[in-house]
Amino acid sequence: MQPIAHCPAVLIAAPASGQGKTTVTAALARLHARQGKRVRVFKCGPDFLDPHWHELASGQPVHNLDLWLNGEDDIRARLHEAALHSDLILVEGVMGLFDGEPSAADLAVRWGIPVLAVIDASAMAGTFGALVHGLRHYRPELPWAGVLANRVASEGHAQMLQASIRTGHTGGESADLDAGWLGALRRQAGFTLPQRHLGLIAAAELPDALARLDAIADALADTPLGRLDAQGWQRWAVAFEPSPVRPLPLLLQGRTIAIARDAAFAFIYPANLDTLRALGAELRFFSPLANEALPPCDAVWLPGGYPELHADTLSRSQRTRDHLEAHVHAGKPVWAECGGMMVLFDGITQTDGRRMPGWRILRGEVRMHPRLAALGPQQWTTPLGGLRGHTFHHSTVETDEPLAGWTEPVSAWGRPEAVYRRASLQASYFHAWFASCPEAAATLFLTEKP
């Protein structure tokens, strides 16, 4: 068993979505990475887009942490490995601090990671202190680092916000110390990361992405949080315990999996790639947007992404489409996930009514909607165990393709997702977390069950 690893760590949270926690997390990672520190960033919950920014900022792979999706042993192993090789660990929360089951607060309490609250203070003054007090004391066992005010109008505004913490305190010590005022970031247009319907625009799509992060990091460097030295960060050092790592059976030994990866198919958990490699697979990547042929392979994975934004280009990717159809006709496995499934149908109709032809490998029509069609954790029960994951999409599909089964929503308000199967091709809106049941994940890329 490996020794306990100690490393400074904070969980960056907020009272709600849209407060700026992704921006602050990425800027904090960038600030310390520029200083030569080894920074590891994690993202709470299932999320493909925020990690793109954190990876750019830190220069390190970004993994997701979710008590239900990963399980405690998996999270413990990931945090311990990061602590062994890092100077700083940052964990970005999801939604509001106490939102969701499990919530970011549950993760902070379970591992003793202090919470750094980011609050959009653009439309408040004295109420800021009440909000901080509520976040700080709602759960008495919650470890606390402090608060950073975001989108502040002026120095005077920042002083009012800081004063609201002092005057609202009723304990025996200074409220400033108890709440942990860590400074304020001014409101500037360049400090906002651009978004679209599924979340942030991926960093790789913006030529000035790193310049944006540098500008925010420069501003952060002028706050009490940014001026903390190594000794100051040690106040938030966490002892991360090791977790036994179960060696995986080499169910995919000798098999090559071709994976679509480009701007249209970018929703890939790094942990899923790690799981496939641990199962023995060799991974090769190709770009449907570049109309690339499939590399020589035994199976194909079409992950999620934004095919609707690139439908015109994809409709002309005839070489990719023909190679994929030949692969299916040869009886070789394909796992098509959400966006990877959408492009396989006859067509995609945009919200403005324009229809773009699909690859016509599956029968049916996809229609985009201005609002979410489904969201939430899901589990697919298989003969080899439950494969966990989630669903998150703005489209629906009308099809008569045969079903291989249904996923089960975890929440009471969720809806199951269909899993379609035509011969060796399986497709669903379900995004699978392969590490939750590697044996079941392996069957997606095998013609027969192991």
Longest dimension (CA), the chain: 74
The catalytic residue among 7, 44, 338, 437 is: 338
The beta-strand segments (E) located in 45-188 are: 63-65, 88-92, 115-120, 144-152, 181-186
Query: 258: which strand partners?
Result: 284, 300
Measured in whole angstroms, how far is the alpha carbon of residue 217 from the centre of its chain? 21
* Phi, psi (rounded to 5 degrees) for 437: -155, 80
Cα separation, 33 vs 60, whole angstroms: 10
Q: HSE on the CB side for 372, CA within 13 Å?
A: 10
Please name which of 85, 94, 16 lies closest in space to residue 51, comparing C-alpha atoms.
Answer: 94
Nearest alpha-carbon partner for 12 in 117, 110, 106, 112: 117
Q: Give the Cα separation of 105 and 123 in Å (integer).
A: 25
Is 338 among the catalytic positions?
yes
425-428 and 418-422: which strand pairing?
A: antiparallel
Region of 423 on the Ramachandran plot (φ > 0 left; ψ -120 to 50 alpha; else beta) = left
Tell me how far apart the alpha carbons of residues 384 and 449 are, in angstroms, rounded to a whole number.
Answer: 9
Yes or no: say if 213 and 41 are a contact pair by the CB < 8 Å rule: no
Nearest to 391 by CA among 432, 426, 434, 351: 432
Residues known to be catalytic: 338
